[in-house]
Amino acid sequence: MNLINIKAVSRKEFYHLIRDFRSMYLAFIIPLLLILMFGYALSLDVDNVKTMVVDHDRTELSRDFIRKLDASSYFKVIYHLRDTVAAIRYLDQGSTTMAVVIPPGWTEDIKADREAQMQVLLDGSDPNFASLSRGYITAFVEAYNRDRFIDFLNRSGKERIEPPVDGRIRVWFNEDLESQNFIVPGIIAIIIMIVGAMLTSLVIAREYENGTMETVRSLPIRGGEFLIGKAIPYFLIALTDVLVAVFMGQVLFGVVMKSSFWLMVLASTIYISVALSLGLLISIATKSQLVANQIAILVTFLPSMLLSNFVFPVENMPKVFQLLTYIVPATYFIDILNGLYLRGLGLDHLWPSYLVLVGMLVVLSNIGFAILKKEGM
């Protein structure tokens, strides 16, 4: 390896990039924009579930119940309907996802200390949304019943009974249960992987298509040096992207890192290198822009999104796919980011993930250089 050669090539590539506004825009601005946009827009939190109520009872108590439902931050009553048929039509349309039906005689049952049935219709198509809504309505009804119970004890002249088991649930790592806290780091991992692998794969496949690689063969520079030189500017751009994204994440979304900043920089450095060497390998193997691009999408975007424990937990997958997650770099980077951002962990806990990423880097780049060597570069 000759550092001066590498420097010369990367300087050339850098000039290209800076002059070519469009590439610069694609390499730097777009990824940042995507991270910020998604960080702001994407959320799996559910609040203000659009709710319909069908009140067949129309009493003081039922109206009070509906008022309480609307006042809670989880539900928003948007339709008061006369019958269930109308509610079903709205569910079909998807304009609301829940209907609460209070049957006639409901108040009477409660006043007579009987169980009063109430029907809840829930649109289950989106399971994530539906199970959260179901959790909320169950908890809401439980809380309502608890009040009724205390009221009952007071009425029957008993002293107040505490619940025997007082479950004090404390949430760790993401105390406010905000989905942004895990979506933002995951988005960073996905976008950086795509951009890193795709940019390098395209840039180098282009060299093959244009025949530049043949010329390089005749120069006193090795193929490996040439490729590293080409990749360095993209490395720097991607690293800047990450740092800006982290900074903005903190300022705009309040996604605060609990652990060391430098550990994050270290992890990003390794991860970006993995992404770039993956791109290099793809382009060396395919030598065609179109194919390189499609393969880069196939091996970066979907795996980083789906097989990385980002939003879809590994535990839920069939065994084969669980095994696949072990070879996806984003799995480890997301694990590290999760540890640094949410758990406040240090290297003593996270070293295995760092180590695997380094291992991937070594393996990928060596395969790439081995192929190059075989081709006589």
* Binding to another protein in span 166-185, by CB under 8 A: 166-175, 177-179, 181-182
| Sheet bearing 75-81, strands edge to edge | 75-81, 49-55, 98-102
Q: Rounded CA gap, 300 and 191, in Å?
A: 9
Compute the least distance from the CB of residue 311 to another protein, in Å.
6
Q: Are 163 and 205 in contact (CB under 8 A)?
A: no
What are the CB-based long-range contacts (under 8 Å, 24+) for 156-161? Answer: none
Nearest CB to another protein, comparing residues 1 and 41: 41
Cα 73 to Cα 80: distance, rounded to the nearest angstrom: 18
208 exposed, middle or buried (CB, 10 Å; 0-12, 13-18, 19+)? middle
Residue selected from 11, 80, 135, 366 as contacting another protein according to rule CB under 8 A = 135
> Any idea what DSSP says for residue 300?
I
Cα–Cα distance list, 181 to 66, 271, 313, 339, 341 (Å): 33, 20, 16, 12, 8
Q: Which 181-240 residues touch another protein, going by CB under 8 A? A: 181-182, 191, 194, 198, 202, 206
Among 138, 240, 250, 366, binds another protein (CB under 8 A): 138
What is the closest distance, in whole angstroms, from the C-beta atom of residue 188 to another protein in the complex? 14
Give whichever of 174 and 269 is closer to another protein, judged by the CB atom: 174
Q: Are 288 and 204 in contact (CB under 8 A)?
A: no
Q: If binding is defined by CB under 8 A, does position 338 make contact with another protein?
A: yes
Q: At what angle do helices 347-374 and 261-286 cross, to 10 degrees?
A: 20
Q: Which of residues 14, 79, 208, 312 is near another protein by CB under 8 A?
A: 312
DSSP class of residue 59 equals: -
CA distance 262 to 252: 21
56 binding another protein? (CB under 8 A): no
Pick the closer one to another protein by CB: 337 or 357: 337
The reply to whether 118 sits near another protein by the rule CB under 8 A is: yes
The verdict on 114 binding another protein (CB under 8 A) reads yes
Total residues interacting with another protein, rule: CB under 8 A: 111
d(CA 295, CA 205): 12
Does residue 72 bind another protein (CB under 8 A)? no
Residues 246-305 that bind another protein (CB under 8 A): 286, 288-291, 293-294, 297-298, 301-303
Of residues 46, 184, 221, 242, which one binds another protein by CB under 8 A?
Answer: 46
- Largest Cα–Cα distance in the chain? 99
Three-class DSSP category at 99: strand
User: What is residue 345's three-state secondary structure?
Assistant: coil
Q: Say how far apart CA 46 and CA 137 lie, in whole Å.
A: 12
Two structure tokens written together for 281: 């390998």
- Identity of the residue, 219 or 252, whose beta carbon is nearer to another protein in the bound complex: 252
Among 119, 215, 240, 250, binds another protein (CB under 8 A): 119
Which residues in the 318-337 window bind another protein by CB under 8 A? 318, 320-321
Instruction: Tell me the window of 35-43, 221-229, 241-249, 258-266 that interacts with another protein (CB under 8 A).
Output: 35-43
Three-state SS for 100?
A: strand
Please give the structure tokens belonging to residue 126: 């989106």
Residue from 7, 67, 82, 148 touching another protein (CB under 8 A): that is 148
Asked if residue 30 binds another protein (CB under 8 A), the reply is: yes
Q: Out of 36, 53, 281, 307, which residue is the one contacting another protein (CB under 8 A)?
A: 307
Which listed range, 143-151, 213-221, 222-230, 269-277, lies at the site for another protein (CB under 8 A)?
A: 143-151
Question: Out of 11, 58, 80, 89, which residue is the one contacting another protein (CB under 8 A)?
Answer: 89
Among the listed residues 91, 242, 276, 364, the single contact to another protein using CB under 8 A: 91
Of positions 163, 211, 220, 376, contacts another protein by CB under 8 A: 163
